[in-house]
């Protein structure tokens, strides 16, 4: 059974930084795309960032491009999201995701999901 556990969320002032981490168990992630999504109150869950199985390709939503960086450590079975220059509109529950299919991407939504971690950015 695949399990994803996020950590690193919290309260930060606008302009600050946070690092989210996701630890996977139940599978070795090295053959799977990994990603981050978020859901703000009253809104649908949206894509934030994705990294290919090898780590050679990364994708970002326009709203976070240039501010967030995704990385993975296949040896540790973890994926991180480094968030800089945070804005109040980044406030959301952030979810880690892993693709259900090998060598695939999380952007299409066929994923396993973590429980989420809250990020709150104050103005």
User: For residue range 65-119, what is the model confidence (pLDDT) as tens digits?
Assistant: 999 999 999 999 999 999 999 999 999 999 999 999 999 999 987 899 999 999 9
pLDDT at position 109: 76
Sorting pLDDT into bands at 50, 70 and 90, what band is 28?
very high
SS (H, E, C) 14-62: CCCCEEEEEEEECCCHHHCCEEEEEECCCCCCEEEEEECCCCCCEEECC
Q: What is the mean pLDDT of the chain?
A: 96
Q: Mean per-residue pLDDT for 50-63?
A: 96
Question: What's the CA gap between 50 and 71, in Å, rounded?
Answer: 9
Question: What's the CA gap between 33 and 20, in Å, rounded?
Answer: 17
- On whether the CB atoms of residues 54 and 9 are closer than 8 A, the answer is no
| Residue 80: CA count within 13 A, CB half-sphere | 12
State the pairing for strand pair 58-60/46-51.
Answer: antiparallel
pLDDT at position 108: 85
What DSSP designation does 76 have?
T
pLDDT at position 9: 95
- The fraction of the chain above a pLDDT of 90, given in percent, is 98
pLDDT at position 38: 98
Q: What are phi and psi of 30, to 5 degrees?
A: -65, -15
């Amino acid at each position: 059974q695949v399990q994803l556990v996020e950590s690193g969320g919290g309260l930060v002032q606008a302009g600050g930084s946070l690092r989210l981490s996701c630890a996977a168990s139940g599978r070795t992630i090295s053959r799977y795309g990994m990603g981050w999504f978020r859901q703000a109150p009253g809104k649908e869950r949206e894509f934030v960032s994705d990294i290919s199985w090898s780590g050679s390709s990364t994708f970002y939503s326009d709203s976070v491009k240039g501010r967030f960086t995704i990385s993975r450590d296949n040896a540790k079975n973890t994926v991180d999201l480094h968030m800089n220059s945070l804005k109040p509109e980044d406030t959301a529950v952030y979810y880690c995701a892993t693709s259900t299919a090998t060598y695939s991407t999380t952007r299409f939504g066929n994923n396993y999901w973590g429980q989420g971690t809250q990020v709150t950015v104050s103005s």
